[in-house]
Amino acid sequence: METLKIGMIGYKFMGKAHSHAYRDIPLFFPKTIRPEMKVICGRNASGVAEAAKQFGWEEYTTDWQSLLQRDDIDLIDINAPSNVHKEITIAAAQAGKHVFCEKPLALTLEDSREMLEVVEAAGVKHMVGFNYRFAPAVMLAKKLIDEGKLGDIYHFRAWFLQDWLVDPNFPLAWRLQKDIAGSGSHGDLGAHLIDMAHYLIGDMTEVIGMNDTFIKERPIPTNMTGLSATGSDNAEKGEVTVDDATLFMARFANGALGSFEATRFASGHRCTNSFEINGSKGSVIFDFERMNELQVYFTDDRDDVQGFRRVLATDPAHAFSENWWPPGHTIGYEHTFIHEIVELMEAFREDRQPVPNFKDGVKCQEVLEAVDQSIEKRQWIKISDV
């Protein structure tokens, strides 16, 4: 197989990120399978037509069902809002298409489990879009942990802070409606932290959380919306049905303790997606806003140079970096998607499932659900009980 023919559903923020990745792969990763940008699909004919032209798709359509029936499509990329993930995934897998779906996989744990069952029964490849794993500095943290360089892991603390909802007049976007988004900061931002924890530390055994919705009603949008939408003075308001912030604590199977904070109300933080890991032999700190760097500390460094050092993860020794620029020439947000889709292409070349796949999506959803149950019941919840 030399090429993979893509049909993509959704054309906004993630649609652009994925399209950009498909375009860049032949240029920077010529040895992997080449994605063919066949058809882009969306509900609004003029919007999707414009996106097709701008992003470089061969064709566009507004009919996702007919897209799934085409013989010249191998994989369906779903980056439309979360409430349509399940229906499209199931129909795509049953039509024999491989599926790449944005996170969170589904509105509920139950739905995500059903999606996993269907893709497994259909024997197709499946991937879920946790892109931050693919920052080379994060992959360096993973390597150090796997090599035992940090020793026994005691702490994983993670925080994903944004501030785009601080303005009470920010409109009631789809991301604030439970029936479309599933949850708020929890599923949107917390899901990334949970996946990062699974990738770096391993399984969690139990969790306890708390959340709040600080602004309970917002103006109904008249014409929107992206994250950059500004305040609306529409007098008509609607109820916010998701969490604005969710915090939780966790125990990991390996004995480590975890703390997680996801919020859209951290004034001044645009996209602070960070973690710190402390082990018996050292620590690492990652901050997405400085995504090329990993702060590294080793307990056995000489006494007179003890302290965190800044490692720039852009050398050929770092994951994916040989395909980019000379050392020190940094990469950005869009590269996490390129690396993620290279992994998807490599899975086809090597005939295996990509990672992270729907099993990882379900594992994430289990923790999301356990945290929600713990908030409702005001008690610790075991992951094995959800």
Do 175 and 184 meet the contact criterion of CB atoms below 8 Å apart?
yes
Q: How far is the CB of 239 from ligand SOE (least distance, A)?
A: 20
Q: How far is the CB of 215 from ligand SOE (least distance, A)?
A: 16
Q: For ligand SOE, give the closer residue by CB, 182 or 279.
A: 182
Distance CA 357, CA 216 (A): 35
Q: For ligand SOE, give the closer residue by CB, 116 or 189.
A: 189
Do 162 and 173 meet the contact criterion of CB atoms below 8 Å apart?
no
**Structure-token pair, residue 72:** 């010249």
Q: For ligand SOE, give the closer residue by CB, 16 or 155.
A: 16
Give CA 363 to chain center in angstroms. 13
SS3 state of residue 282: strand
Query: CA dist 252 to 88, 180, 354, Å?
Result: 34, 31, 24
Q: How far is the CB of 270 from ligand SOE (least distance, A)?
A: 9
Distance CA 273, CA 281 (A): 24
- CB atoms under 10 Å from CB of 341, counted, come to 29
Distance CA 204, CA 378 (A): 18
Tell me, what DSSP letter sits at residue 283?
A: E
Q: For ligand SOE, give the closer residue by CB, 99 or 189.
A: 189
Q: How far is the CB of 157 from ligand SOE (least distance, A)?
A: 19
Q: For ligand SOE, give the closer residue by CB, 162 or 357.
A: 162
Give the Cα-Cα-Cα angle 172, 273, 255 (nearest 5 degrees). 120
Q: For ligand SOE, give the closer residue by CB, 180 or 271.
A: 271
Q: For ligand SOE, give the closer residue by CB, 340 or 366.
A: 340
Q: How far is the CB of 273 from ligand SOE (least distance, A)?
A: 7
- CB atoms under 10 Å from CB of 261, counted, come to 19
Would the CA dihedral through 293, 195, 7, 80 be positive or negative?
negative
Q: How far is the CB of 221 from ligand SOE (least distance, A)?
A: 16
Q: How far is the CB of 263 from ligand SOE (least distance, A)?
A: 10
Q: How far is the CB of 275 from ligand SOE (least distance, A)?
A: 14
Closest residue by Cα to residue 76 from 44, 101, 102, 55: 101
* Residue numbers at the binding site for ligand SOE (CB under 6 A): 162, 188-189, 227, 271
Tell me, what DSSP letter sits at residue 33?
A: P
Residue nearest to ligand SOE (CB): 188
Q: For ligand SOE, give the closer residue by CB, 249 or 271.
A: 271
